[in-house]
Amino acid sequence: MISSLSSHFASKHSFGVLGDDIADTKEDKNHFFDALEKARPFSRSSSETTLSTGPRPRSFASELEAAASLETKTKDPVLQNSNNVDLTTTNEKELPQVLSKQGDTIETCGYPPIADPVDPARILSKRDLRNQRVMFFGAIVLFNIIMVMVAFFGKKSKIIFIAVLFIKSKDFLSSILSPLGMMSTRIWRIFSPLKPVPQLWILSLIPAYSESEEQIVKTIYSLRDNDVEPHRQVMVVVLDGNPRDVRSHMTRVIREFERPYISLKWKRGVLRIIAGFMEDVPVIVIEKQKNGGKKDSLILCHDLFNFPRDNSPLYTQLLREEIQRDILPILTEGAPFSGFDMVFCTDADSTIYKGAVVRLANALARDKNAIAACGLVLVELEPGLEWSFWNLYQQFQYTYGQYLRRRAEGFVGKVTCLPGCITMMAVREEMAGAIKKYAEPVTSYMVIHHQVQYLGTDRRLTYSMLSQGKHLRTLFVPDAISETVAPQSIAHYLSQRRRWGSNAYFNNYFYLAGENMIAITRIAASVEVIRLSLVYYRILNTALFIKSLVHHVSIMKLMPMLIVGQLPSAWFFTSVLIESELRKRAHKLILGYLINKCISPFMSVIIFTKVATNLGSQVWGMSGVTASSAPAATTAGDGTDLSAAEKGEAGISTDKTVNGEGRRRSTTSIDRRVDVGIDC
């Protein structure tokens, strides 16, 4: 049939040799391609020999020649299967073969040339940074001195009580809101049971930099085995400038090609895309030729698979169309697919408990105003380090911050920090505006804008989502659990908390004064800003409180202060008794509580001082056991590319294995930990 089509078009145009101008009109070409599609001997339903359906070749003659050759091979049983091998099976030890396709390289893809991109972001000079750091730190010191003078020259007992009441007010109110929210939810469920959720399509994003090939593959299969039914998944792995041979683990490759793209740093880059299957798992691997940072990977993924923003790069728009037209229809065969409903974000070095993905998806689907939902992040108790000082210390911090503060935020529907290792985001129109805000370059002089936009990812993305409308909600699903490795040294801990503390502190200014924030979020943010700003005064206030105890102050006078100060801890340990996952760690949490009471005041001072003195620095800090050598990226005089700093997002590859329950074990920690909402 294909030969007859070729003869028909050749005779119609009186050509003796096939050429690009064999069809003079667009109508003739379209007629030919429609007929050609019907004549293809390989269909999308073919098992291991699917012909990739990418963009039509630019050369009309090449299509005719390929079609004629394909027909000959189909008719000839020797050419069709010269080794008499059953084509319906695949030898997993051999790489799957992909039929070559015109347009699979940068040179032949046909993407239009564009001018070199120019970064419109404002670069602050060293002098700008120094001046703003001095002004900021001076204001903080002055604020603390004023409070100290008030404490000494005013009525000490009342000042101490007011200070404790205000500093503890967020935790105090959270410890009241959480049990009320739990009770009201249980009562509501009696009269309004949860309805079943229809099948949804989830895109599971796995950004990777230092993670090993084995880690990435194990993460893919663990997500497949996470009991996501009735939902369906497509996995997307983004390799950030550090190649891994994921292709060798694929049992079927449907397409492999390269495309140009413009990175978040406004630099030209190359993407190598491999689409196919790992056994029954549909997978798209996007390999960036150069490191662009985790934030660049997140934005690229949302531009390709979520609602598109109106200012995404042209090359990204073209790649989005190509993937949706040529790749996704094949990867999603067997179930109705009109687009993704959600994007699940995790890390290749995090452990996701079974059932976590479906719980997040169902929670998000049942709330029409929910734009994202996150799960619970616990410290992984690595073999040999179960009783590590650092694990005990941070285990309490992780669980306290999430079960007390985040749970209360979840009942309000305004979780302010969604951890990147276990967050489900909706595919909805508001996400286009959120990613646009998240990706926009900073042109302001104020260093605080640079700080929140370029350092860290989780809190800024959460704010960008909530700022799209007061009606939007972010949820907390505590029974969707993940584990992560915590720092195991003082240097690594301080490096991580400097970054987390900076994100928490400066993003709260935007929650306080930003657009589309509800009143309770603004009030909570103001409490956090003042609490963290008074870190030096809080040491004095604690000393005055201890002095009051020594001087035998009446217990009745101390009772209100004790209630306000200790109710949050009482509610937390009540949660430990209620929650089965926390009961397993109860003895360690008690020890962690005692450790925190002893050293947290001093750690808070050290961390906040590092936050203030590093204002404007975008260096992520230590990776594993070595420190990033990148200088502050906002300084014009350094002449340093942002990539140097962003390579500090991930560290040395570690040797990790997975036990029978799918929990990863590792020997060293990586400072690409997501921000789980721990304040300094």
Domain presence at residue 629: no
- pLDDT score for 83: 37
Mean pLDDT of 252-275: 94
pLDDT exceeds cutoff 80 at 595: yes
* Tens-place pLDDT, residues 439-498: 999 999 999 999 999 987 899 999 999 999 999 999 999 999 999 989 989 999 999 999
- pLDDT score for 184: 94
- pLDDT score for 381: 81
- pLDDT score for 485: 87
Least confident of 69-73, 461-465, 599-603, 604-608: 69-73
Domain presence at residue 33: yes
pTM of the model: 0.78
Q: Where are the strands (E) in 209-247, listed by range?
A: 232-240
- pLDDT score for 243: 86
Domain presence at residue 16: yes
Domain count, the chain: 1
Contact 379, 400 (CB under 8 A): no
* Tens-place pLDDT, residues 348-363: 888 999 999 999 999 9
Residue 523 — very low, low, confident or very high, per pLDDT cuts 50/70/90? very high
pLDDT exceeds cutoff 50 at 531: yes
3-state SS, residue 87:
coil
pLDDT exceeds cutoff 70 at 91: no
Within 120-212, residue ranges assigned H as helices are 126-153, 156-167, 169-191
pLDDT exceeds cutoff 80 at 63: no
Name residue 283's beta-bridge partners. 235, 276
Mean pLDDT of 84-111: 57
Domain presence at residue 53: yes
The 10 Å Cβ neighbour count of residue 259 is: 22
Domain presence at residue 13: yes
Q: Are strands 232-240 and 281-288 parallel, antiparallel or unpaired?
A: parallel
Residue 593 — very low, low, confident or very high, per pLDDT cuts 50/70/90? very high
Give the residue numbers spanning the domain of 35: 2-80
Handedness of CA 653, 655, 659, 665 (dihedral sign): negative
* Tens-place pLDDT, residues 152-202: 776 666 776 777 788 888 999 999 999 999 999 999 999 999 999 999 999
- pLDDT score for 392: 94
- pLDDT score for 37: 41
- pLDDT score for 630: 32
Residues in the chain, overall count: 680
pLDDT exceeds cutoff 70 at 295: yes
Domain presence at residue 76: yes
The CA distances from residue 108 to 59, 239, 328, in Å, are: 10, 23, 22
Mean pLDDT of all residues in the chain?
79
Contact 36, 63 (CB under 8 A): yes
DSSP string, 467-492: TT-TT-EEEEEEEEEEEEPPP-SHHH
Structure-model confidence comparison of residues 289 and 679, the more confident one = 289
Residue 622 — very low, low, confident or very high, per pLDDT cuts 50/70/90? low
Residue type, 179: P
Domain presence at residue 37: yes
Residues 6+ apart with CB under 8 A from 581: 376, 378, 481
* Tens-place pLDDT, residues 308-344: 999 999 999 999 999 999 999 999 998 999 999 999 9
pLDDT exceeds cutoff 60 at 376: yes
Domain presence at residue 102: no
What is the distance of C-alpha 117 from the center of its chain?
A: 26
